[in-house]
Amino acid sequence: MSDQQEKDLADRISLLIQKYHNDSITDDELAALEQIKDMSAEHRAQIENLMTQDYLRAGLDQMSKYKRPLQINYDRPAVEEHDIPAIPVTTKAHSSRIYIRMAVAASLVAAAFLAWYFILSPKLVSDKVQYASAVSAEDVLPAATRARLVLSTGEAINLDSQSVHALANEGDTRINLTGNGQLEYLAAETTPTTTNRYNTVTVPKGGVFNILLADGTKVWLNNDSELKFPVSFTGTERRVILSGEAFFEVAKNAQRPFVVELPDSKSITVLGTVFNTRAYKEEKEFTTSLVEGSVQLSSLDNTRPRGSRTLTLRPGQEATQQRGTTVMTARTPRLLLDSYSWRTGLFHFEDEPIQDVMNQVARWYNISVVYEGSPPKDIVSGDIYRTLPLASVLASLSKITHATYEWKAPSSVIVREKAP
């Protein structure tokens, strides 16, 4: 087996283990996992260990090993627009073992998010603390499960309850809210007759939310994001509209491509794929990161013969595009997980200006940021846990940047450059 095949296998194991623990694995995928276990005694031992009940807790411990300390980069490196080669495996005899460990490591990091989301996150939700009346930054808690659903009738429903109940019916589709806060669209087994009915889920700053669409596609929405989608998919394609950031696990259907419309006349077309896309309206750059499968990105360009530019990504690649341009650039990051670190319970910063850092913090904690004077010119790299209260995040930033961060009730942080 080649190095690339071993790496692909490691990625496959990681994804299957994640799906096993969030109860989304299919019978065929369980059978595939059993086949992988039969490949060797080491495969079997590692996979069976990952499938135990202690797995999520182990993920929390492992997450600390991936967390890098914050640091300031005084000389920002130039951005390389070509692929970064993978680290070579020099000892072929041990390559299988190396890639199994890669799968274990990737799975444990993913487990850290699952543990945080399903075990710790509900404990962080408190009716006693309201963002609008927080007395200090210590009172401001991280993002929790919350969103707003707007039905095709215009009726709005707040989705912050942890109880299991049916919300509504849209034609042949039933809409439920599950106990873990997932919104489910359950289409009738017969051919859907519902047409032109769209729902919109809006996740505010300080919120996260996940949705099971009628075709079986799973969507995790990050804070300050919005997804508009049909209650059932009836045409030749499955089209949704996204603003903000989301992680997609698209159900396979070769006859109906899945299309994600983004701002600025951009779109992503897939068949069955796992990917993250970030397209906030206020940010200058769009980013799409491919975990599994294949995606084709399109950008409207009237100067091209077909009226658009396209770019196809391979697993492990990410594409970036500056707002207002049609040029798309693909690269292979050293660790793709960094591209969707919000799903692993971390803020991940890679040579980011302090303004971009504070934009992420503001969305996660539902606060506003005010700069007194010119914004600091610090460039930040490193990781911070997203489960911390705001005061701890600001304290970490204060230690390594040339700025002070002052909480001002009810919901603002004043950023000032430190005196020389």
Same domain assignment for residues 205 and 227: yes
**Type of residue numbered 6:** E
What is the pLDDT at residue 203?
Answer: 95
Q: How far is CA 11 from CA 6, 293, 324, in A?
A: 9, 11, 34
Q: What is the pLDDT of residues 255-289, one digit of tens each?
A: 899 999 998 778 899 988 999 999 998 888 889 99
pLDDT digits (tens, 9 = 90+) for 296-327: 998 865 455 555 688 899 888 999 888 777 77
The pLDDT of residue 149:
94
Torsion of CA 234, 235, 238, 239, to 10 degrees: -110
Structural domain tally of the chain?
3
Confidence (pLDDT) at 147: 92
With a pLDDT cut of 70, the percent of the chain lying above it is 69
Q: What is the mean pLDDT of each run of 10 residues along the chain (420 residues)?
A: 60 68 72 84 73 54 54 46 28 39 48 41 33 56 88 90 72 84 82 73 93 94 95 91 95 92 87 90 87 87 60 90 81 79 84 90 93 90 85 88 89 88
| Per-residue pLDDT at 10 | 65
Could you say which of 336, 358, 374 is where a domain stops? 336
Residue 318: name the closest of 350, 347, 345 by CA. Answer: 350
Same domain, 220 and 117: no
Domain span including residue 117? 3-62+75-124
331-353 in b/e burial notation, b at 16+ Cβ within 10 A? ebeeebbbbbbbbbbbbbbbebb
Among residues 336, 370, 391, the one where a domain terminates is 336
110, part of any domain:
yes
In terms of domains, do 100 and 198 share one? no
Whether residue 70 is contained in a domain is answered as no
Q: What is the pTM of this model?
A: 0.69
* Chosen domain end from 336, 360, 389: 336
Do 268 and 211 share a structural domain? yes
Does some domain include residue 272? Answer: yes
The residue whose two tokens read 């309850």 is 161
Task: Answer yes or no: do 309 and 181 share one domain.
Answer: yes
Q: What proportions of the chain, in percent to the nearest 5, are helix, strand and coil?
A: 30, 35, 40
Please tell me whether residues 220 and 256 are part of one structural domain: yes
Please report whether residue 130 resides in a domain.
no
In a domain, 67, yes or no: no
HSE of 7, CA atoms in CB hemisphere, 13 A: 13
CATH number of the CATH domain containing 204 = 2.60.120.1440
Note whether 320 and 220 are same-domain residues: yes
